[in-house]
Structure formats: C-alpha cells, structure tokens
C-alpha cells in the first residue's frame, strides 16, 4: 500500500472566524462547511485545489484528534504557481505581513522560493513556488 498524496491537515485555532478571514484572503482558498444536524457539529474547512485544511476550534475539537494540538502549533507550506514577485504582491495586497522572504528553500520536488507569514494564532505559513 504505497502512500500517494495528502488529502487534508487539521489546524487547531482559537477562533474559527478569525482563521477563515485570514486564510480566505489568500487567492484560491475558499471556506466550506459540512456536517451539522444529524451528522454532528458543523465543521469548517479551507479548500484549495484537491486539498483542504480542517479547522478545529480549541476546546471544541472533533474526535479523534491530535493529543496535544494547540492554537499556533502548525507549520504549513502552501504551493502556488505565482512567481516570487507576484507572490509578494498578492500577499501584501491581502494586507498580510510578510515575516521572511522570498527565500530559497528545499521542497519535496526541488528548490522553492518561499514567503513566510503567520496566521492569527501564530502558526507559520510558508507560501512557496517551485523555481
């Protein structure tokens, strides 16, 4: 059984609304909800391409969950096709503060040009493009 990809990750946040506002400022990320009613609580996710980030609000996580998940403990790398200059311009246009970058990093397939920002809880978000 070879592993072939990554479908989703879970990020624990202190405030789902603030997280949705932050992440949906990035082009291509949309907020989706599912569940509720007889299926349990309404769940929140951020969908982009063929992947998603599920949001768990601290203190109201969906079971099963990570044993020690806390707001601000995530470190994600999101990919884009934008060249580094366009990436910087889009992040700045979204009124998000760049902490570092663009800088060269190594990704799963080779060299990346990466820009780093932080979400409202302090999780590190790398946005990168393959060189």
Instruction: Tell me the Ramachandran region of residue 81: left when phi exceeds 0, alpha when psi lies from -120 to 50, beta otherwise.
Output: alpha
pTM of the model: 0.92
| pLDDT reading at 87 higher than 90 | yes
% of the chain exceeding 70 in pLDDT: 99
Domains within the chain, CATH numbers bracketed: 8-130 (3.10.180.10)
The CA distance from 84 to 128, in Å, is 8
% of the chain exceeding 90 in pLDDT: 80
Residue 20 confidence (pLDDT): 98
The predicted-structure confidence for 33-69, as pLDDT tens digits, reads as follows: 998 777 678 899 999 999 999 999 998 888 888 898 9
* Residue 1 host element (H or E): none
Share the mean pLDDT of the chain: 93
Q: Active-site residue 57, yes or no?
A: no
Catalytic residue among 17, 30, 95, 126: 126
């Amino acid at each position: 059984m070879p592993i072939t990809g990554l479908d989703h990750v879970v990020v624990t946040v202190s405030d789902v609304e603030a997280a949705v506002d932050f992440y949906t400022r990035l082009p291509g990320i949309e907020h989706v909800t599912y569940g509720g009613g007889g299926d349990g609580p309404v769940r929140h996710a951020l969908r982009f391409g063929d992947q998603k980030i599920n949001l768990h609000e601290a203190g109201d996580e969906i079971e099963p969950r990570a044993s020690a998940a806390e707001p601000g403990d995530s470190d994600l790398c999101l990919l884009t096709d934008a060249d580094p200059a366009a990436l910087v311009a889009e992040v700045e246009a979204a009124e998000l503060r760049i902490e570092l970058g663009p800088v060269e990093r190594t990704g799963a397939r080779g060299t990346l040009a990466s820009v780093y920002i932080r979400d409202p809880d302090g999780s590190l978000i790398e946005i990168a493009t393959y060189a």
